[in-house]
Structure 1
Amino acid sequence: MRLHLCAVGRLRAGPERVLVDDYLQRFDRTGRALGLGPAAEHEVEDKRGGGMEAEGDLLARAVPQGALLAVLDERGRVLPSPEFAAQLARWRDGGRHDVAFVIGGADGLAPALRDRADFALSFGAMVWPHMLVRVMLAEQLYRAATILAGGPYHRA
């Protein structure tokens, strides 16, 4: 099952870029044997300043046709890491070929895009900078793969 991280903004060289690259590389190595991955990033930028709605349109176009749409949103479900891993496994085992995780910009996700999501995930009640959310998602994907593989990375 291919995973797509569709996000507003471009991660430039720096600590966030290093962390995302590292965790996604780890995820690809660990997840391959589990039928998970590869993970690809799709970055969009609204250069015309159209705001949340324009970003929503760009994000919607970045989601592959037929992919399950999972949005990162503060109103979404808060899952412990083992439950997140189990959700990925259910999607994989249910025959999903693509899952797109969508991360909005500084103003969040356009309501129209959020409303058509198949799944909404939250990293808690706090609002996180969208660049950090990408790091956190990449780490949780790697953690999920290690949980499913029975590896020692996740200690609960």
Structure 2
Amino acid sequence: MQIQVRCGCGEGGGPAACPEWAVVEVQGVLQPQPCFSGRIQGLHIGRLCSTSSAPSSKGGYTFTVGYHELAGSKVTLKKPLLVLRKKKNDKGNPGELGQGGQAAAAAEVELEVIGIIRHKILFKDRPKALISKPVPKEKKAMPEAATPSTVPPAS
């Protein structure tokens, strides 16, 4: 069975014209709360920020998840990866009979390139805990005129 790979990005520009994707690699496990029961599509996990002024450079990145902050860097992959979408194209005549007398609905599978991954953002160190200190409360001083005096006035 032959599977065709089609790139519609830029029409003739090839995989170089496809949108850039990146892989985020963390050491450990990200566990959603049990109330999501496996439905993680569209789930807000955290905030990914670039610490350098130019995101395309090999600068640093921070990933904040809850009260944890991870520091990472951009790494170039040795071999790029393609992001593919599977499409079924029904070709053939439904009236034709194939082997064994069954209808030959030859469903050809075609893979469409929707992105290319050349870099990964690697977070390999332990997270830093984000702990905020409570704001210290200032004691209010009472004005001197309002304080009761213990010494009686001289007569």
Q: Give the structure-1-normalised TM-score.
A: 0.19
Q: Which of structures 1 and 2 has the bigger CA Rg?
A: 2
Higher helix share: 1
Compare relative contact order (CA 8 Å, sep 6+) and give the higher one, 1 or 2. Answer: 1
Higher strand share: 2
